[in-house]
Structure 1
């Protein structure tokens, strides 16, 4: 399956963040992807639909839930606060751009970014603005004649650049900071209460990945294909690790996972890496078979779980060696970063399927639900129920950029899931390109 030439395959997705605090309603800090392991028992697949809430745009943001409220951003420019029990709107906050950033919460403040160029701090109770910080501008990655597509004089946005950086919050006895990357190439640290700039660090390209916190460091990568380790107090570089820069295979969109002194992450260079957290030295790398890895990993019981693009897989890799234990085949690109509760791992794919896989079955036991849009459009869009770019193009010339946009629009109609799931009170929440925030009950 090819995008527009014989040399460049298809792919994409998002991000992940770390915090030492557990995710529960009493936690002081809740970062969007902080700890992807939630409370749960045994194998708990989804059962019935609890509710779904329709926004006015596609959802690329990932939800978080705290104190009975689920928060999520939409491409319609609103951040939504939805009641967990009922699915009713509590409040919504309007920005002047699409919200592809996922939120974080510190005390009674929720933080997120918008394509209007601002990062916001909002009161979680009433949705009122506390402060906003203007970056040098937020935008999708793009260039003239991207990857040789036609016409070469046309400015083309990267159709696979889904996310803005999601802020994370750090606190010690002296200070609280909110940290995020920006399309202007900087990594920012602001005072969490006031929004005043503490420091910024300049990279060599837009930064749409999300930072991960570990002790006195943050780890973050960007479109310059480099992963950075920075001192969280000063913003000084500790080390950097460069990934590949070939055309079509350049950039880091995922966030890292941390376990036992190691960092795990994937890149558009079709490899998944394990580095030493202190040194940034490579321990091993996994060949992803010309498949981008945009999904951010989760680690449990010496196994790293991560999604792939063109191989449509959720991989289970040995955390020490990088050897593949098994793979679970989905129906399309897996850009949704997985979440684990009990013995179940949850993730979505680009065809609108949401999977629940029993971790004790080595990929053999699973179930899934589909978006209503997928049920409606699968027959006309998918080939043998699988994503196929060429099939969906219906013989259109994929060397032409606008034809690629048309195919992507068809895929989005399926209810593509690139939002990452959040689990709270025996329910799982995720967003979809069909504009819905879904809440599904889990088996008790």
Structure 2
């Protein structure tokens, strides 16, 4: 099938009708959104180093530092895991699922929970440093979402996977933590104490992750607007509005900033390049009715980003937006890719993890499936491809509960919406099967 629209009601209509940026005296932690790492040549994934089981699905992305990997789980824990052994160093319990990616600064790890708090925890012992209560964290949702039935039932958006991930900005020995919230605010907190420095109000929940470049923060939310704010004051510099057509509204991804341009995708099925100084549109790429949840990475004048319904990793010309090539996968590519040397790593919603040679124009790759995918693919996928109508066969997909069951079946495959992180010749990623995976990379010959 040429494409699969991601939400059930439109599908029925078709059927039946995150690096470090630095400058003098300033340090910025953007580890969640700039995933370009040192490396050489083509280094595909080889053997499994270890896997670590949590008691919930993993939507959070891993972060590693000083021999420890940090990741959150739907079971409400933030885990600190030894890189070498895969053994628990410590775990910290919250009262809600953790879908944000942890950020690290000095001896603290920062993250948000669906219990309505953002936390700072000591990286060495897992003890609480501070917590900040927002106005509440939740999945996007409404009654009768996407016109699914029954119209009176409250429905979580089945593809609202993430909470905003905190990033740290330091200047002149003072540091702040910045993140968005489901309460519609963008917050700046003192990194040491958790005290509020400023907040900026948007019109809807903000689940995107902020990206900092020089003296600005760039972040988008469910009001479908990308904001450029002054990082010191929280004052708006400019805004860029994307489309608000039902089913195609909202910004879930973070931006990538390079060469004076801001790059990002949205649920409006376009990928955008803007002037960083003014917010003026330079070009946009038509994604063929496909959402962008993936955050782009940029290398050698090429933008790499995943798509939802066209099941692809795109390679776009950073200057013009022209498509250089696309690498077809087996399902939605929601996770953000990571690059090391000449290899890009990413997963898809069917539980496949890919190592693609960037010099092959999409021709050379290695694929590692999760164990669940090996067992369940034949019964869940159609010709090894994700197909919503096939998975939901013999059910009424206009009913929300039936759509949710199909999504649960996809999760059982080991769907990958967690973005990979590379450290010490190992790639780490989480899966909806509840595991954090650590795979060795092939040594350069």
How high is the TM-score relative to the length of structure 1? Answer: 0.96
Report 1:129-140 matches (<5 A). 129-140=128-139
Q: CA deviation at 1:95?
A: 0.2
Aligned length: 434
Distance in 2, Cα, partners of 1:28 & 1:411: 40
State the partner residue of 1:239. 238
State the partner residue of 1:359. 358
Q: Is the 8 A contact 1:59 1:100 kept in 2?
A: yes
State the Cα RMSD in Å.
1.5
State the partner residue of 1:64. 63
For structure 2, list consecutive stretches of 5 or more residues without a partner in the other structure: none
Distance in 2, Cα, partners of 1:21 & 1:406: 46
State the partner residue of 2:170. 171
Q: CA deviation at 1:7?
A: 6.3
State the partner residue of 1:248. 247
State the partner residue of 2:155. 156
Q: Is the 8 A contact 2:67 2:83 kept in 1?
A: yes
State the partner residue of 2:217. 218
Q: CA deviation at 1:28?
A: 7.5
* Cα distance change on mapping 1:9 and 1:352 into 2, 3 Å: farther
Which sits farther off after the overlay, 391-400 or 342-351? Answer: 391-400
Q: Is the 8 A contact 2:9 2:147 kept in 1?
A: no
Higher RCO (Cα < 8 Å, 6 or more apart): 1
Q: Is the 8 A contact 1:4 1:397 kept in 2?
A: no
Q: CA deviation at 1:36?
A: 1.0
Q: Is the 8 A contact 1:417 1:433 kept in 2?
A: yes
For structure 1, list consecutive stretches of 5 or more residues without a partner in the other structure: 11-16
Q: CA deviation at 1:4?
A: 2.7
State the partner residue of 2:42. 43
The answer on 1:292 being equivalent to 2:285 is: no
State the partner residue of 1:305. 304
Q: CA deviation at 1:314?
A: 0.2
What secondary structure does 1:195 align onto?
A: coil
Q: Is the 8 A contact 1:8 1:248 kept in 2?
A: no
Q: Is the 8 A contact 2:27 2:171 kept in 1?
A: no
State the partner residue of 1:90. 89
Distance in 2, Cα, partners of 1:9 & 1:175: 54
State the partner residue of 1:372. 371
Distance in 2, Cα, partners of 1:5 & 1:321: 34
State the partner residue of 2:271. 272
Q: CA deviation at 1:39?
A: 1.1
Q: Is the 8 A contact 1:354 1:369 kept in 2?
A: yes
How high is the TM-score relative to the length of structure 2? Answer: 0.95
Deviations 1:202-254 (A, max 9, x none): 00000000000000000000000000000000000000000000000000000
Q: CA deviation at 1:368?
A: 1.0
Distance in 2, Cα, partners of 1:85 & 1:402: 42
